[in-house]
Structures are given as structure tokens and as C-alpha cells.
Structure 1
Amino acid sequence: MKIAYIATEKLPVPAIRGGAIQIYIDSVAKIISAKHDVTIISIEHEELEQQERRGHVRYIRFDEKKYLPSILSHISQENYDVIHLCNRPTWVKQVKDAAPQTKIVLSVHNEMFTFEKLGDAEGKECLNLVSKVVTVSDFIGRTITDRFPFAKSKVRTVYSGVDLDTFQPLWTANGKQARSQVRNELGLTNKKVILFVGRLSKVKGPHVLLQALPSIISEHPNVMMVFIGSKWFGDDNINNYVKHLYTLGAMYPEYVTFIKFVKPVDIPKLFAMSDVFVCSSQWQEPLARVHYEAMAAGLPIVTSKRGGNPEVIDEGRNGHVISDFENPESYAKVINSLLHNANTRESMGKYGRSKVEREFSWKNVENNLLAVYEEAAKK
């Protein structure tokens, strides 16, 4: 098959500035391109060529300001069997008009089918024109099918994945080495490390974790809460909310570390240095990919009961889901319990690692997507 992936206009591929969609596209395409003709289309970036080939994958990048018209011109001249369009249902009609013989698979990574984003007529037209819809979680799937029940036969959950070779758990030689190296570099040798990875945004809830810190410190005076992220992908500028977080953190200088934007290639070793991973999302999270990364690194997970996050947690086995997600003390109680018991952390980490190996490798994602593409191509 000849397959094109169309990324959003937000970030380039490969994911040199981060982005779950960009990581998803690039990781899957590298595997699928071993047997199929694969092109990835994304926006330009000064560090990347406008066109290049990496391995078997062709990359084409267009000016952000002319992105959609450039895409439409390109696909009208190519005979793709399948176009995998990411997260832009409002583009479907124009893509179909430009390439009427091509089957369109729409992947939905956020709540893109809300009334605020899509009218009834537009939503119905989009779902009638696509051959298949893949969603990153059952939660996101329901945001489509609850509103448009006729589309149930087209909608399928395909969970994202993670590079199992890149993330090395503590009990492996590479994991131990990465843990020791990073802890030495950051002065965390004898610390119990709580890790947050994500945008420093109110909807992600880092302020809730900072508010939980006094109760954690009282039981674990050697704790360090590490926040990795910035206000937006690759943007280390400080807005009012980030300033607020820094002010809160400054109250506990011996217990809080902020690390700004980290390139995806450097993320695995920061997971390896940690003891507990926390996702404190306050919004209806589609399903944050950091859950897969934490499992791959062998970390127990504490996550909020928001959106799709609970779908990858087997309660008490690879993590805990916080129902009272706005309450800092709910996080403190669970985190304290985990920090008290190294054996529990290890057993949960090993269960999570085995789960991610079984269910969430990029090879699994490839198999699931190819099944969708093949179904689409037959229609």
C-alpha cells in the first residue's frame, strides 16, 4: 500500500519539539515502511529539510502558513491508497475532494467532535466521507459515537505505543546505569523521586502536586518532586501560570526541581531516575502517552480519573487512579504509601512493564493500524 500520514499544523515530524501525535506518526511509520510505501507530511522547521528520506520513510514539509493548500496540491498529484489524517476532521472534505479515490482514515487524539468545534452537518459529512476512524482511547471514541451513533461501525480504539528498547527499567543494567548517572548529575543520589512530565498548564494539574508536597515531606523528608516540561512544546517562555508554579516551588527549594523542555530523546533516562510517576490531569485527558512511557520504565503510576487515563491502569497492579483528582491530599496519601514500600513499587513496575510489552509496543500499534488500513482499502 501507498500510505500518507498528515500531521497537524502545530509541530514538525520527527518530534524534535515533542508532541504525542508527532511521536505516534514517526514511530509507526518507521515500522510500516518496511513493507509499504510511506510518506509523512508535516510543517517545516529550520532544523529539518523540506524533503528528505530517512530509512524507508519519505518526509515532506510545507510552510505552516500555506500548509493545508500545499497538502491538497500534493495529494491531488499522488495516488495514495490510504491517507491517515491526524486530528483534523474539518479537513476531511477538502482532502477527499483533492484525492477522491483515496481512502481516508481519520485518527482522533482529542475531543475534536464537540459542539464547539464541529456542527452537526459538518460532523456527519466528515464521518460519511472517511472509511475508518481510529481513536487513542475508548473515552475519545465515545465522544464521537455518543453524538453520532451511526458511526459506531467505523470507529475503533487503537492505543498508542512506546519504544521498549529506549525505556529501560531499574532492574536492567542499562536502567541502573541511567538512574545512577542522572541522579548524580542532578544531585538526587539519596532522594525518593516523584516525577511529573508534561506541559506546565493548569489543566495538567502540577499545582495540585505542589499543594500535596507538605504532606509528603512530613513522611518522606528525603523526597524530591521533579517537574519536566514547559508552557508549550519547546517553548521555555514563562507565562503567569508557570510563574505561579515557580513561586509555589520556591517555598520548598530542597524538595522541588523544575527542568524545562527536554527533547524526547533525553526523556527515557529521566524516567529511569525516578521512583513514582504522577499524572495529575484536571481536564478530560484523551489518554496521556506518558503513561506508556512510565510503564515501559517500570514505574508505578498515580493518575487522575479523567478521560482515558484509567484505561491503561489495572488498579493496584501497575498503578492507582485518583477519583478525588482535585484534592492534593488524595495524591499525597497514595504517593506516601508507594514511597514507604520499595517492594510494592518494584512489583507494580514489573507488572506495568509486562503489560506494556504485551499491549503497547509500536509493533502492536502497527498491526492494529494495518488491519484498519486493509479494511479501509477494501471498501
Structure 2
Amino acid sequence: MRILIVAPEQIPVPPPLGGSVEITILALAKQLARKHRVTIVSRACSRYPRHSIIDGVHIYRVPSGSPAKYLSRVLRFVRGKSFDLVQIDNRPRFVGPLKRVLRGASVSLFLHSLTFVAPPYATRSAAAAGLTQADIVIANSSSLKRQLAARFPSAAGKIRKVWLGVDTSRFKPAGKRRGGGAFTVLFAGRVVPRKGVPVLLKAVKLASKSASRPIRAVIAGGSSRPGYLKSMRSLASKLRVNASFLGTVPHRRIHRVFRKADIFVCPSQKHEAFGLVNVEAMASGVPVIASNNGGIKEIVRHNRNGILVRRYRRPEAFAGAIAKLAGDGSLRRRMARKARQDCLSRFSWQATAANLNRIYGAGSRPR
């Protein structure tokens, strides 16, 4: 099958620093290329050539700027070409125009969150048009699938759930670590209000009061809002929390950061469709403490491979979970083993691609 994947216009593929959508696109394309001819169209970037081949995947890069300008360049690229299936990631507005140009292709809309089916990125009617025109809609969790079905009932019958994955050969447990030293609590992600960094810092402060060893927080992630990042540093200083702010860590190196952590904390304050960082931590043999919301609870199994926090707006709830794992090494090791096993069986890119192959194989002809 000839597959075209149309990436969003914001970040190139591969992403120079990070971007969960672009990470997913390339990882899945590599897997799909084992059975199919796969082409990615992405935005141009000065550090990449206009055309490259990575593990059998052809990547063509076109000028970007605004979504409209990027779409016009994508349409110019595909004219005269033939594909059996087109996967469009996170851009409902691209579905109609691409479907009109590539009349022989089935079109899949792969949604990674609710962001681009809601204002300010899309009106409800524009998003509904994209979902209606698509032959298949992929949601990366059951939670996102339910949300989409509730908002767009006319498209509910074509929505399929496909969990994301992780490179289990790169994200893997570290060798035997030396005991002693500070207990390391890791956060990785964008430092923006919805991710809950203030809750984490306050929780570390509270957990430190009862812990038998020092606790330090490591924050790996940048922010599009420099003032907010500065306020998080100030909060850590005010709380007298031992916190290291690493800034943006390129994804090609982030696995090394996971291996140095004792636990990973994901204190998201709003709906998370999936939460790729959680499976990256789990594959690294790092127990996860996470907010009990959205697709996170499909990944983290409470008291088995991690801990889910129901009252996730309260620092005390996270503090209790942090203190529990800090004080019980055998529990941490048991959860770490189970987390790794779950990633190998349920959250590898091979498993994700196998699910997509089944869906695309069954629905690869246009309606």
C-alpha cells in the first residue's frame, strides 16, 4: 500500500527538539514502511534537506508559515501523484482539500488531542466537516475517542482507538544504580500552566518533611512563556525546594534523563488524551505518579505499574504518593518491572503499527 502522512505545519519531522505528534509520525512511519511504501510531507527546516530517506521512509519538506500557505504547498506536492491512503495528523481542515485532489485515496484523520477540533484553531462546524469527510478517524486513547464521539456524533461510527507507543530499545532501564543521594522526582514536558508544575513543586516540599532522604525535583522542559518559567524557578526558590530546571532537552537525549530518575510525576491539570511521557518513563523502568484524568488512566494502572492521583489539583495528594514510593524500595522495583512489561506488551511502536495496519487494511478503500 502507498501511504502518505501529512504532518502539521508547526514542527519539522524529525523534530529537532521535541514534539509528541512529530515523534509519533516518524516512529509509526518507520514501522509501516516495513510493509508499505511510506511518504511523509513536513515543513521545511534549514537544518534538513528538502528530501531525505530515514529507515525506508521518504520525507519531503515544503515551505510553511501559515496553515493555509503550508496546505497550498502540500497540495502542490501531491498533485499528479497517487496514494492508496493519506493520514493527516491533527489538521481537520486539510481533509477536504486533500480528498478532492487525491480522489483515489482513503483519508485517515489521526487526532492526538482535542486542541485542533476546538477554538481558536477550528470552529465546531469546520472540525465537524473534517471528521465527516474523513474515511477513518484515529484517536490515541479511548478517552479521546469518547470525547470526539460526544462532540461529533455524526462521525462516531468511524472513530477508532490506537494507543501510542515508545521505542523500548532506547527507553530502557538503567543498569544497577548506586544507593544513597537525593531521591529524584522527574517531570518532563512543556512548562505551561496546564501541566501542573506548581502542584509538583509544592508536593515535593510537603513530601520532604516526612521523607527519610532528601528529595529533589528535576524539571525537563522549556516554555513558550518565559515569564511563566521564571515564575516556576521563583516558586521553587520560595519553597526552598531542591529543583533543577534543565530547559528543553532534545528528544534524542531525553532517555538519559529518564534513567537518572527514581520516579516520574505527571501532574496534568487538564485532559490528557494520552500522555506519551508516561510510557517513556515506564519503558525506562521508572514508576509513574500521574493525574487520574483522560487517557492517562488507560496507561497507568493504580498500584500496579504506578499510582493514579484522583485529587490531582491538591499538592497533598501527590505528596503522599511521592513519600510512599520514596520510602518503599521494594514497591518501586515491583512497579518498575510491571511498567516495563506493560510497555513491551501494549505500548511499543510495533504494537501501535500493528493496530494501524489492521484498521487501514480493513478501511483502505474510500467510501
2:111 to 89, 92, 108: 108
SS at match of 1:18: coil
Match status 1:225 vs 2:212: no
**Letter paired with 1:313:** V
Unaligned runs of 5+ in 1: 170-174, 181-187, 233-237
- What TM-score, normalized by structure 2, do the two folds share? 0.94
| Residue of structure 1 in register with 2:155 after alignment | 151
Q: CA deviation at 1:252?
A: 5.6
| Residue of structure 2 in register with 1:216 after alignment | 207
| Residue of structure 1 in register with 2:281 after alignment | 294
- What TM-score, normalized by structure 1, do the two folds share? 0.91
Q: CA deviation at 1:254?
A: 6.5
**Contact kept in structure 2, 1:298 and 1:349, CA below 8 Å:** yes
**Contact kept in structure 1, 2:28 and 2:349, CA below 8 Å:** yes
SS at match of 2:364: helix
* Aligned-partner Cα distance in 1 for 2:248–2:316: 28
**Contact kept in structure 1, 2:118 and 2:124, CA below 8 Å:** no
Residues 23-52 of structure 1, C-alpha deviations (whole Å, 9 max, x = no match): 101111112112211111111112111111
**Contact kept in structure 2, 1:113 and 1:143, CA below 8 Å:** no
| Residue of structure 1 in register with 2:184 after alignment | 193
| Residue of structure 1 in register with 2:345 after alignment | 358
Q: CA deviation at 1:121?
A: 4.1
Match status 1:141 vs 2:145: yes
Structure 1, 264-273 or 210-219: larger mean CA deviation: 210-219
| Residue of structure 2 in register with 1:203 after alignment | 194
Alignment of 1:260-275 (within 5 A): 260-275=247-262
Structure 1, 273-282 or 96-105: larger mean CA deviation: 96-105
* Aligned-partner Cα distance in 1 for 2:129–2:222: 37
**Contact kept in structure 2, 1:11 and 1:17, CA below 8 Å:** no
SS at match of 1:26: helix
**Contact kept in structure 2, 1:204 and 1:282, CA below 8 Å:** yes
* Aligned-partner Cα distance in 1 for 2:103–2:276: 33
Q: CA deviation at 1:253?
A: 6.0
SS at match of 2:157: coil
Match status 1:73 vs 2:76: yes
**Letter paired with 2:19:** G
Structure 1, 319-328 or 213-222: larger mean CA deviation: 213-222
2:324 to 313, 334, 337: 337
* Aligned-partner Cα distance in 2 for 1:284–1:120: 19
Q: CA deviation at 1:213?
A: 2.4
RMSD: 1.8
**Letter paired with 1:261:** T
The size of the alignment, in residue pairs, is 361
Match status 1:92 vs 2:79: no
C-alpha change, 1:121 and 1:273, in structure 2 (3 Å) is closer
* Aligned-partner Cα distance in 2 for 1:294–1:258: 18
* Aligned-partner Cα distance in 2 for 1:257–1:293: 20
Unaligned runs of 5+ in 2: none
**Contact kept in structure 2, 1:114 and 1:143, CA below 8 Å:** no
Q: CA deviation at 1:127?
A: 2.6
**Contact kept in structure 1, 2:204 and 2:319, CA below 8 Å:** yes
**Letter paired with 2:197:** P
Q: CA deviation at 1:345?
A: 0.4
* Aligned-partner Cα distance in 2 for 1:164–1:134: 23
